[in-house]
Amino acid sequence: MVLLKNTVEEIMRGLAVKKTDYPGGDPQAWLKKALTKKELGHIKVKYFSKGVLGLSVDSSAWLYILSLKKEELLHSLKKENPGLKDINLRIGEIS
Domain that holds residue 73: 22-91
Taking only the tens place, the pLDDT of each residue in 21-48 is 555 678 888 899 899 999 999 999 999 9
Strands 52-57 and 43-49: antiparallel
Residue 48 lies in a domain: yes
CB neighbour list of residue 59: distance below 8 Å, 6 or more residues apart: 42, 91
7/81 Cα distance (integer angstroms): 36
Residue 26 lies in a domain: yes
Residue 35 lies in a domain: yes
In total, how many domains does the chain have? 1
CATH number (domain holding residue 27): 3.30.300.180
Residue 8 lies in a domain: no
pTM of the model: 0.71
Taking only the tens place, the pLDDT of each residue in 33-88 is 899 999 999 999 999 989 999 999 999 999 999 999 999 999 999 988 899 999 99
